[in-house]
Amino acid sequence: MFQVFSGIWALLLGIVLIMLGNGMQSTLIGLRGNLEGFSATALSIVTSGYFIGFLSGARYTPVLLRRVGHVRVFAALGSFMSAGVIALPVLPDPWAWMVLRLLIGFCMSGIYVTAESWLNDAATNETRGKVLSAYMIAQTLGLIGAQGLLTLGDTQTSVLFIGASILVSVSFAPILLTVSPAPKTELTRPMPLRELFTGSPLGTVGVFLLGTVYATQSGMGPVFGAMIGMTTAGIALFVAMLFAGALFLQYPIGWLSDRMDRRQVIFGLSAIATAACIFGWFTGENFWPMMIAAFISGGMTTPLYALLLAYTNDYLSPEDMPAASGGLVFTFGLGAILGPLITGWTMQQAGPFTFWLVLTVTFAAIALYALYRMTQRAAIPASETESYIGVIPTATPVAVEAASAWAVENAESERSEESDEEETPTPA
C-alpha cells in the first residue's frame, strides 16, 4: 500500500488543495450573489456557465496537452483559474460572473484531465483501482473541507475569494515539482448519443437526469440556503452534508450493486432520494432535519452515477466501453447545464423550496424509468456483470475510461479464479 501512494502523494495533496479552493468559490457564488442582490435565475445562469466550461475543458484539453505538453497546460490553467477566482468579487455582475465561471469550469476540467492522465500513467493494472479510489476520496474530502474554511472569513469582503485563489495557486507547487514524465493522453471519440441510448436507454437517460440533480445540489444548494436566510456556517454544513453522504455510502452501495440486478439498486436509491427530498420539502427551515435530507439525497447521487456507468458497461463489449464512457460524461454535462437553469427559474417563480421539488421530480423520474426498463429487458445475472466503478460526477473521460478498463480486468480476473476453483478436483 505504501509503495502505491509513495509516487502519487504529491498529486493527491495538490488535488485536495485545488478542491479546497474550488469548493470555496463554488459555495461563495451563492452566498455573495445573494448579498449582491442577484436573482435565483441570474445565479442559475452563473452556475450553468461553470458546467459549460467544464464540458468544453474535457473536450479540448487533450488537444492542448498534445500540442504544448502536460506541465505547461497544467501551469497555465492553474494561473487562469486563480485569476478567475480572485476576479469574482472585483466584477459583481451576473454576466461577468457567468464568463468567469465558464473560465473556471474550463480550467478545472483541464486540471482534472491532466491530473488523471498522470495518475493513470503512474498506476499498474494491479494498483489502478486503489489509485482511482484515493483520487476520488481526495476530491471529496477537499470539497467537504472547503465548506469549513468558509466560516473563517466574512462573505461581504474579498478575503474568502483571496483565500480560495491562494489555495489554487499553492496547490500546483507539490504537483509540478514532483510529477513523473508527461504521459500520452489519448481519449476515444465519444459514442453518438443515439447509439448510446440504443445500447443502454436507462444508462443514458439516468445519467442525463442525474446531471441535473448534481448541478442543482452543488450549484443551487448554496443559493437555496442564502434565500431562506441560513447563516454562512449553516450553508457550509448543508453543502458539506451533500458530499459527506456520498463519501460514506459509496462503498456499501457498490458492494450491493455487484450482487443483484443493478436496475433494482438504481430504482431503490432513486426512491430513497425521492423520499429524502420530499422530507426536505416538508421540514421547512428546521435545520437538522434539513441536514438529514441533504445527507441522504446527496449520498444517493454519486453512487447512482457510478452505478449507471457500471450498468451501461454491462451491455457493452470491452471495445465499446471507452467510447461509451466519453458519451456518458458528455450526456451528464448536458444535464448539468440544464439543471440549474430549471431550478433557478422555479425558485424565482415559486420560492426557494422548489429546490427540493425539482430534486424530487428528477429522482422520481429516474426511479420510474428504471422500473419501466425492468419490464423491457431481462436482467443480466450478477455473476456476469462488470465490477462497480467507483467514480464521482466530476471525473473526466480520462478517469472514467481508466475505471472502466480496470472494472473489466477485475471482473475477468474474478471469473477466471472462480473457473479455476471449479475445475480443480477435490482431494479424495
pLDDT in tens, 59-91: 888 888 878 877 788 888 989 999 999 999 999
Average pLDDT, the chain: 85
CA distance 99 to 105: 10
Domain holding 242, by residue range, is 2-177+191-420
Asked whether residue 425 is assigned to any structural domain, the reply reads no
**Is 250 within the bounds of a domain?**
yes
Angle between helices 201-215 and 262-283 (to 10 degrees): 30
Half-sphere exposure of residue 383, counting CA atoms within 13 Å on the CB side?
Answer: 5
In a domain, 428, yes or no: no
Residue 291 within a domain: yes
* CATH code, domain carrying 136: 1.20.1250.20
The per-residue pLDDT for 252 is: 83
Please check whether residue 426 lies inside any domain of the structure: no
Q: How confident is the model at residue 375 (pLDDT cuts 50, 70, 90)?
A: confident
Does the pLDDT at position 386 exceed 70?
no
Residue 427 in domain: no
**Residue 244 — pLDDT band, cuts 50, 70, 90?**
very high
| pLDDT score of 329 more than 90 | no
**pLDDT the model gives residue 294:** 95
Question: What residues have CB less than 8 Å from 333, skipping those under 6 apart?
Answer: 51, 54, 55, 58, 211
- Return the residue matching grid coordinates 466584477: 91
- State residue 428's pLDDT score: 47
- Mean per-residue pLDDT for 311-317? 77
Output DSSP code: residue 192: P
* Number of domain units in the chain: 1
Nearest to 44 by CA among 355, 428, 310: 355
Q: What is the mean pLDDT of residues 165-188?
A: 74
Q: How far is CA 105 from the centre of its chain?
A: 13
On whether residue 183 sits in a domain, the answer given is no
Residue 416 has pLDDT above 80, yes or no: no
The lowest-confidence range among 108-122, 147-161, 373-387 is: 373-387
